[in-house]
Chains A and B, each alone.
Chain A
Amino acid sequence: MIPAPFEYAAPQTLGEAIRLLSSEGEEAKLLAGGHSLLPMMKLRLANPKILIDLRRISGLSGIRREGDQIVIGALTTHYEIESSALLKEVCPLLPETARAIGDVQVRNRGTIGGSLAHADPAADLPAAILALGGELRLTGSDDQRWVKGEDFFLGLMTTALKPTQIITEIRVPVLAGAVGTAYLKIAQKASGFAIVGVAVWVKVEDKACTDIGVAVTGLGAKPFRAKEVEKKLWGKRVDHTFLDADASHVDRGIDPLDDIHASARFRAHLARVLTDRAIHEAISKATSRKS
Chain B
Amino acid sequence: MPVSKMVGAKVKRREDPRLVRGLAHYVDDINLPNTLHVSILRSPYAHARITTLETDAALKHPGVVAVVTGPDLRDQVGLVPVASQNPSLRVPKHHVLAVEKVCYVGESVAAVVAEDRYTARDALDLIRVDYELLPAVSDAEKALASGAPVIHSEWPDNVAFRWELKQGNLAHAFKEAHKVVRQRFVHQRLAPIAIEPRGVLARYLPGEKELTVWSSTQIPHLLKTQLSLMLNLPENRVRVIAPEVGGGFGSKLNVYREEALIGYLALKLNRPVKWIEGRRENIQTTIHGRGQIGEAEVAVKKDGTLLGLQYKVIADIGAYHQLLTPGIPPLTGLMLSGCYKIPAIGMEVTGVFTNKIATDAYRGAGRPEATYVVERMMDRVAQELGIDRVEFRKKNFPRPKDFPFKTATGLAYDSGNYQAALDKALKLAGYEKLRGEQNKLRKQGRYLGIGLSTYVEICAMGPSAAMPAGGWEYGNVKVEPTGKVTVLTGVSPHGQGQETSFAQIVADELGVDIDDITVVHGDTSAVPSGIGTFGSRATAVGGTAVYQAAEKVKEKAREIAAHLLEADPEDLTFSDGRFSVKGVPKKGLTIQQIALEAYMARRLPKKMEPGLSATSVFEPSNFTFPFGTHICVVEVEPQTGKVEIKKYVAVDDCGKVINPLLVDGQIQGGIAQGLGQALFEEVIYDENGQLLTSSLMDYPLPRALDLPRLELSRTETPTPVNPLGIKGVGEAGTIGSTPAIVNAVVDALAPFGVTDIDMPLKPEKIWQLCQTKEPTKARGGR
Judge: A and B partners, yes or no.
yes
**Are A1 and B279 interface neighbours, CB within 8 A?**
yes
**Are B698 and A266 interface neighbours, CB within 8 A?**
no
In the complex, the chain B residue whose C-beta lies closest to that of A47 is: B125
| Other-chain residue from B278, B642, B680, B768 in contact with A1 (beta carbon distance below 8 A) | B278
Q: Give the chain B neighbours of A43 by CB distance below 8 A.
A: 280
Q: In chain B between 32 and 72, which residues have their CB closer than 8 angstroms to a CB of chain A?
A: 39
**Which of B640, B680, B692: most chain A Cβ within 10 A?**
B640
- Does A5 reach chain B (CB closer than 8 Å)? yes
**Are B640 and A186 interface neighbours, CB within 8 A?**
yes
Closest Cβ of chain B: how far from A215's Cβ, in Å? 20
Given contacts A189-B680, A260-B684, A273-B640, contact A4 B697 (CB under 8 A): no
Closest Cβ of chain A: how far from B44's Cβ, in Å? 12
**Are A1 and B764 interface neighbours, CB within 8 A?**
no
**Are A186 and B697 interface neighbours, CB within 8 A?**
no
- Does A291 reach chain B (CB closer than 8 Å)? no
**Are B700 and A2 interface neighbours, CB within 8 A?**
no
Q: Give the chain A neighbours of B763 by CB distance below 8 A.
A: 186, 266
- What separation, in Å, do the CA atoms of A5 and B123 have in the docked complex? 11
- What separation, in Å, do the CA atoms of A260 and B211 have in the docked complex? 45
- What separation, in Å, do the CA atoms of A260 and B687 have in the docked complex? 13
**Are B696 and A190 interface neighbours, CB within 8 A?**
yes
Chain B proximity mask over A190-216: 1 for CB below 8 Å, otherwise 0:
110000000000000000000000000
Q: Give the chain A neighbours of B696 by CB distance below 8 A.
A: 190
Chain B proximity mask over A171-200: 1 for CB below 8 Å, otherwise 0:
000000000000000100111000000000
**Are B764 and A263 interface neighbours, CB within 8 A?**
yes
In the complex, the chain B residue whose C-beta lies closest to that of A44 is: B125
Q: Give the chain B neighbours of A1 by CB distance below 8 A.
A: 278-280
- Does B639 reach chain A (CB closer than 8 Å)? yes
- Does B699 reach chain A (CB closer than 8 Å)? yes
Q: Give the chain A neighbours of B768 by CB distance below 8 A.
A: 266
- Does A55 reach chain B (CB closer than 8 Å)? no
Given contacts A1-B280, A186-B763, A191-B698, contact A270 B118 (CB under 8 A): no
- Does A269 reach chain B (CB closer than 8 Å)? yes
- What separation, in Å, do the CA atoms of A261 and B278 have in the docked complex? 24
Q: Give the chain A neighbours of B121 by CB distance below 8 A.
A: 2
Q: Give the chain A neighbours of B700 by CB distance below 8 A.
A: 189-190
Closest Cβ of chain B: how far from A39's Cβ, in Å? 8
**Are A4 and B122 interface neighbours, CB within 8 A?**
yes
**Are B280 and A190 interface neighbours, CB within 8 A?**
no
**Are A2 and B117 interface neighbours, CB within 8 A?**
yes
- What separation, in Å, do the CA atoms of A190 and B283 have in the docked complex? 14
Q: Give the chain A neighbours of B279 by CB distance below 8 A.
A: 1
Chain B proximity mask over A256-279: 1 for CB below 8 Å, otherwise 0:
000011110010011001000000
**Are B693 and A260 interface neighbours, CB within 8 A?**
yes
Q: Give the chain A neighbours of B697 by CB distance below 8 A.
A: 190-191
Closest Cβ of chain A: how far from B536's Cβ, in Å? 29
Chain A proximity mask over B663-693: 1 for CB below 8 Å, otherwise 0:
0000000000000000010001000000011
Closest Cβ of chain B: how far from A23's Cβ, in Å? 25
Q: Give the chain B neighbours of A44 by CB distance below 8 A.
A: 125
**Are A262 and B764 interface neighbours, CB within 8 A?**
yes
Q: Give the chain B neighbours of A270 by CB distance below 8 A.
A: 640
- What separation, in Å, do the CA atoms of A123 and B698 have in the docked complex? 15
**Are B764 and A190 interface neighbours, CB within 8 A?**
no
- What separation, in Å, do the CA atoms of A85 and B25 have in the docked complex? 44
Q: Give the chain A neighbours of B640 by CB distance below 8 A.
A: 186, 270, 273
- What separation, in Å, do the CA atoms of A43 and B763 have in the docked complex? 30
- Does B26 reach chain A (CB closer than 8 Å)? no
Closest Cβ of chain B: how far from A130's Cβ, in Å? 23
Closest Cβ of chain B: how far from A191's Cβ, in Å? 4
Chain A proximity mask over B456-495: 1 for CB below 8 Å, otherwise 0:
0000000000000000000000000000000000000000
- Does B131 reach chain A (CB closer than 8 Å)? no
Q: In chain A between 215 and 265, which residues have their CB closer than 8 angstroms to a CB of chain B?
A: 260-263
| Other-chain residue from B122, B639, B692 in contact with A273 (beta carbon distance below 8 A) | B639
**Are A5 and B122 interface neighbours, CB within 8 A?**
yes
Closest Cβ of chain B: how far from A189's Cβ, in Å? 4
Q: Give the chain A neighbours of B431 by CB distance below 8 A.
A: none
Chain B proximity mask over A1-34: 1 for CB below 8 Å, otherwise 0:
1101100000000000000000000000000000
Q: Give the chain A neighbours of B692 by CB distance below 8 A.
A: 260
- What separation, in Å, do the CA atoms of A270 and B696 have in the docked complex? 24
- What separation, in Å, do the CA atoms of A4 and B118 have in the docked complex? 8
Closest Cβ of chain A: how far from B283's Cβ, in Å? 11
Closest Cβ of chain A: how far from B22's Cβ, in Å? 17
Q: Give the chain B neighbours of A273 by CB distance below 8 A.
A: 639-640
- Does B599 reach chain A (CB closer than 8 Å)? no
**What are 20 A-B contacts defined by CB distance under 8 Å?**
A2-B117, A2-B121, A5-B122, A43-B280, A44-B125, A186-B640, A190-B693, A190-B697, A190-B699, A190-B700, A191-B697, A191-B698, A260-B684, A260-B698, A261-B698, A262-B764, A263-B764, A266-B767, A269-B767, A270-B640
Q: Please provide the 6 A-B residue pairs with the shortest distance between their CB atoms, ordered closest to farther.
A: A189-B700, A190-B700, A2-B121, A191-B697, A1-B278, A266-B764
| B interface residues (Cβ-Cβ under 8 A, vs A) | 39, 117-118, 121-122, 125, 278-280, 639-640, 642, 680, 684, 692-693, 696-701, 763-764, 767-768
| A interface residues (Cβ-Cβ under 8 A, vs B) | 1-2, 4-5, 43-44, 186, 189-191, 260-263, 266, 269-270, 273
Not counting A2-B117, A190-B696, A190-B698, a sample of 6 additional A-B residue pairs whose C-beta atoms are within 8 angstroms of each other reads: A2-B39, A5-B122, A186-B642, A191-B697, A273-B639, A273-B640
